[in-house]
Amino acid sequence: MSTLLIVDDNPVDREAIERLLGRGYQCLAAASGDEGLTLCRRERPQCVLLDYRLPDYDGVHLLPHFLAQHVGVIVITGVGDESIAIASLKNGAHDYLSKNELTRENLERAVRNATARARLMQEVELHHRLVNEMPLGVAVFEWEDQNDISSLRLRWRNGAASRSPTVGYGAVGKTIGEARPEILETALPRLIADTILTATSQTLPDMAVGVAIYAIKTVPLGGTLAAVLFENVTAERNAVQERLKMEAQMRAAQRLEAVGRLAGGVAHDFNNVLSIVQSYGQFVRQRVAGNAEATEDVDVILDASKRAAKLTSQLLAFGRGQVQSLRVMNLNDIVTDVQRLLQRLIGEDVDLVVHLSPNLPPVEVDPTHMEQVLVNLAVNARDAMPNGGKLTIETASVVLSEGSEAERESSVAAGSYVTLVVTDNGNGMDAETQQHIFEPFFTTKLGEGGTGLGLSTVFGIVKQSGGFVGVQSAPGQGASFKVYLPSVTQPVTAPVASKPAPGSLKGTETVLVVEDEEMVRKAVCRVLRDFGYTVLEAARAEDALRIARSHPGVIDLVLTDVVMPGISGLELATEIGGEHPEAHVLYMSGYTGHAMVSRVRTDEGIKFVQKPFSTEELLGKLRQALDEDTG
Ligand SMILES: Nc1ncnc2c1ncn2[C@@H]1O[C@H](COP(=O)(O)OP(=O)(O)OP(=O)(O)O)[C@@H](O)[C@H]1O
Ligand SMILES: [Mg+2]
């Protein structure tokens, strides 16, 4: 049921209207303008029948207040008041009725009209407000003289368009030719014209205005009108760029990760093979002692296997499978230690400049590995400066905050880091080269004997230390490698004094050898027996435990592989320690794919010998471990 509000000070007239409309309408009545407005706001009728003569207002003055309520307004005029009627319509009334034509039919039609028009007006106003308020810029053009493109006239624009200083099209009412003749040089006017002629939308390529990027589109509005819609898309476009960059970085990281696992796995098996070659090579060498020719041949085999061992150790470094001897230390000390060596490596044509930050927090690293990092970076720098140049090594301490650019680029967690920056002013590299430099065997020094393992070693070592290495370079602009290492809060530890080499490699102690690879185990046991030791042999951790339990005498040392099927060497050592507290432990390790054993701390007294090892290395480490004072 429609609700109507009758505003009339004459009760007779009010009732007459109510009677005419009869049932089907809910009629509210007000005797004054004020009362009418109050009722209108409260009851929200569809339509107001407004007597134009009221005691407190005249209808023309009251009209805007009702219109603002978005109701239909019909002005009821006295007989012969046509001028009033016209004035009301001009002021926005939706319809009028003279008192002498008040019939039910006329009333109903007027109410219908007025209500529909009020709703329409409300909608138009709503859209107008929305278009005006939205962030998308809208400018409406009309093309008057279709032979003259400069006659495109700006008819209207919304708030965003009028606020845009760069993309604005001059004043409303002016043609482009009058207001912005320089725009005539661009593709835009033609596009607007085409839009009007073909009545189809057109899209312009992104337009850069200063640092801002605008997406621009035209829309036909019928007849000679078209709108230009433009939107500042700088943030979105930059976000897309950013995302693409991140994805590329992610892919590169995943690729390195996969290659790393492969390299580590290969190196592991290879180390066992090389251990066998070296051990049995040594056996043969002893047997043929006295035969110079045979000795020479065997030496070639042994040399080749040493070279292979060096390669696998580089691969291991990349695969993050190297055993680290971690120490808490100041990175500056490492730089200072290798500085002389570096100067010799890079030659006299290259100036070495070192800037060490005086207040560096400590880092936990393997000093030998970090030296390797420095050497590899310096050698690369030297190679990039064949005619000499300058090599700068800097240390600093930085805090990567959450979401900072460095944090996002470096793929390490926010936190406190020590940085090592190695910069040269050599040949530099292009972006394509930079994408691959950390991959093993990527080299541009094919004719010059590069193996492409320098940077992959750096990468692996830094990764294993919980850090990140990045590069900045451009062709002809030199290169700068930046290594991030997480800083720690523990105090710096003193280096473990290395024991003097034992005088004799022989011994009479009892050694339990635990190694699942049969040929490696046989070789090790044979060497130990040859050098006087009593050897207990176990292929598996379970066997080792059984032997330890049942062996009546002392076990002076357990020589065990770190990674074995079933329980690990570390767990085994702990178990045996319960049975034989006198036993020292020496670990043999090829590849330590297990996180728990990859960070062996020398300051905690853990000893290991890296596979493949020579007889001397093994026996030397064994004697060191045995001769060490426990207590
Ligand atoms: N400082 C640098 N300036 C310019 N290019 C560099 C620099 N460092 C590395 N590169 C590029 O990265 C490639 C890979 O370096 P990487 O150290 O891994 O291998 P390599 O130096 O070629 O060989 P290797 O170090 O095994 O002897 C190099 O061949 C070279 O193209
Ligand atoms: Mg190199």
Looking at the structure, tell me whether residues 213 and 170 fall in a common domain: yes
What pLDDT, on a 0 to 100 scale, did the predictor assign at position 619?
Answer: 92
Looking at the structure, tell me whether residues 122 and 139 fall in a common domain: no
**Residue 594 — pLDDT band, cuts 50, 70, 90?**
very low
Pocket test residue of 443, 446, 448, 477 for ligand 1, highest count of atoms within 8 A of CB: 443
Q: What is the mean pLDDT of residues 432-437?
A: 92
Residue 216 in this model has a pLDDT that exceeds 80? yes
Looking at the structure, tell me whether residues 257 and 335 fall in a common domain: no
Mean pLDDT of the chain: 87
What pLDDT, on a 0 to 100 scale, did the predictor assign at position 601?
Answer: 47
215 phi and psi, to 5 degrees?
-95, 130
CATH number of the domain bearing residue 588? 3.40.50.2300
CATH number of the domain bearing residue 451? 3.30.565.10
- Residue 525: in which H helix or E strand, if any? helix 518-530
Whether 310 contacts 350, CB under 8 Å? no
CA 487, chain centre distance (Å): 22
Residue 496 lies in a domain: no
Q: What is the mean pLDDT of residues 444-463?
A: 88
| Whole-angstrom distance, CA of residue 532 vs CA of residue 527 | 9
CATH number of the domain bearing residue 300? 1.10.287
Task: Compute CA distances 443 → 252, 307, 318, 455, 470, whole Å.
Answer: 17, 19, 15, 10, 17
Residue 128 lies in a domain: yes
For ligand 1, whether the C-beta of 385 sits within 6 Å is no
The first and second tokens of residue 241, run together, are 């760029």
Of 128-142, 243-257, 368-382, 452-466, the range with the lowest mean pLDDT is: 243-257
DSSP-derived secondary structure letter, 58: B
Residue 322 lies in a domain: no
**Residue 85 — pLDDT band, cuts 50, 70, 90?**
confident
Residue 352 in this model has a pLDDT that exceeds 90? yes
Place of tokens 């962030």: 135
132, 148, 173 — which closes off a domain? 132
Q: Rounded to two decimals, what is the model's pTM?
A: 0.60
132, 147, 173 — which closes off a domain? 132
Looking at the structure, tell me whether residues 344 and 463 fall in a common domain: yes
Whether 59 contacts 53, CB under 8 Å? yes
Q: Which atom from ligand 1 is nearest to the alpha carbon of 452?
A: 19
For ligand 1, whether the C-beta of 455 sits within 6 Å is yes
Looking at the structure, tell me whether residues 605 and 514 fall in a common domain: yes
CATH number of the domain bearing residue 191? 3.30.450.20
What pLDDT, on a 0 to 100 scale, did the predictor assign at position 596?
Answer: 42
Residue 400 lies in a domain: yes
Pocket test residue of 374, 375, 383 for ligand 1, highest count of atoms within 8 A of CB: 383
Residue 501 lies in a domain: no
> Is the bond preceding residue 612 a cis peptide, omega within 30 degrees?
yes
Residue 284 in this model has a pLDDT that exceeds 60? yes
| Whole-angstrom distance, CA of residue 591 vs CA of residue 271 | 8
Looking at the structure, tell me whether residues 335 and 471 fall in a common domain: yes
What pLDDT, on a 0 to 100 scale, did the predictor assign at position 497?
Answer: 61
CA of 97 to the centre of ligand 1 (A): 94
Closest residue to atom 22 of ligand 1, CA basis: 443
What percent of the chain stands above pLDDT 70? 93
| Whole-angstrom distance, CA of residue 482 vs CA of residue 410 | 10
Looking at the structure, tell me whether residues 336 and 481 fall in a common domain: yes
Q: What is the mean pLDDT of residues 386-408?
A: 86
What pLDDT, on a 0 to 100 scale, did the predictor assign at position 260?
Answer: 79
Looking at the structure, tell me whether residues 81 and 141 fall in a common domain: no
**Residue 595 — pLDDT band, cuts 50, 70, 90?**
very low
CA angle 526-530-535, nearest 5°? 60
Of 130-134, 208-212, 361-365, 425-429, the range with the lowest mean pLDDT is: 208-212
For ligand 1, whether the C-beta of 366 sits within 6 Å is no
3-state secondary structure of 506: coil
Looking at the structure, tell me whether residues 454 and 346 fall in a common domain: yes
Residue 414 in this model has a pLDDT that exceeds 50? yes
For ligand 1, whether the C-beta of 444 sits within 6 Å is yes
What pLDDT, on a 0 to 100 scale, did the predictor assign at position 604?
Answer: 58
Beta strands 2-7 and 25-30, pairing class: parallel
How buried is residue 339: exposed, middle or buried, by Cβ count under 10 Å (0-12/13-18/19+)? middle
- Which own/partner pairs from 564-572 qualify as long-range (CB within 8 Å, at least 24 positions apart)? 564/514, 564/515, 564/516, 564/540, 565/516, 565/540, 566/540, 566/541, 566/542, 567/541, 568/594, 568/596, 568/597, 569/514, 569/541, 569/597, 570/596, 570/597, 571/541, 572/514, 572/541, 572/544, 572/545
CA of 445 to the centre of ligand 2 (A): 9
486, 501, 528 — which closes off a domain? 486
Q: What is the mean pLDDT of residues 36-49?
A: 93
pLDDT 10s digits, 528-538? 999 999 999 99
Residue 427 lies in a domain: yes
Residue 369 in this model has a pLDDT that exceeds 60? yes
DSSP-derived secondary structure letter, 175: B
Looking at the structure, tell me whether residues 38 and 124 fall in a common domain: yes
Closest residue to atom 7 of ligand 1, CA basis: 380
Residue 325 lies in a domain: no
For ligand 1, whether the C-beta of 4 sits within 6 Å is no
Residue 590 in this model has a pLDDT that exceeds 80? no
CA of 380 to the centre of ligand 1 (A): 5
Q: Kindly calculate the radius of gyration of the chain based on its CA atoms and give it in whole angstroms.
A: 45
Closest residue to atom 9 of ligand 1, CA basis: 380
Domain that holds residue 545: 510-627
Q: Which atom from ligand 1 is nearest to the alpha carbon of 449?
A: 27
Residue 237 lies in a domain: no
Of 410-419, 459-468, 617-626, the range with the lowest mean pLDDT is: 410-419
Beta strands 202-209 and 327-329, pairing class: unpaired
Beta strands 584-589 and 557-561, pairing class: parallel
**How many structural domains compose the chain?**
5
Residue 631 in this model has a pLDDT that exceeds 60? no
What pLDDT, on a 0 to 100 scale, did the predictor assign at position 548?
Answer: 93
| Whole-angstrom distance, CA of residue 353 vs CA of residue 335 | 11
pLDDT 10s digits, 298-345? 999 999 998 888 888 887 777 766 777 788 999 999 999 999 999 988
Closest residue to atom 28 of ligand 1, CA basis: 443
Specify whether the backbone of 119 is left (phi greater than 0), alpha (psi in -120 to 50) or beta.
alpha
Of the ranges 427-431, 539-543, 603-607, the best mean pLDDT one? 427-431
Pocket test residue of 256, 318, 380, 387 for ligand 1, highest count of atoms within 8 A of CB: 380
What percent of the chain stands above pLDDT 90? 45
pLDDT 10s digits, 492-510? 887 766 555 667 888 999 9
Looking at the structure, tell me whether residues 534 and 557 fall in a common domain: yes
Looking at the structure, tell me whether residues 479 and 365 fall in a common domain: yes
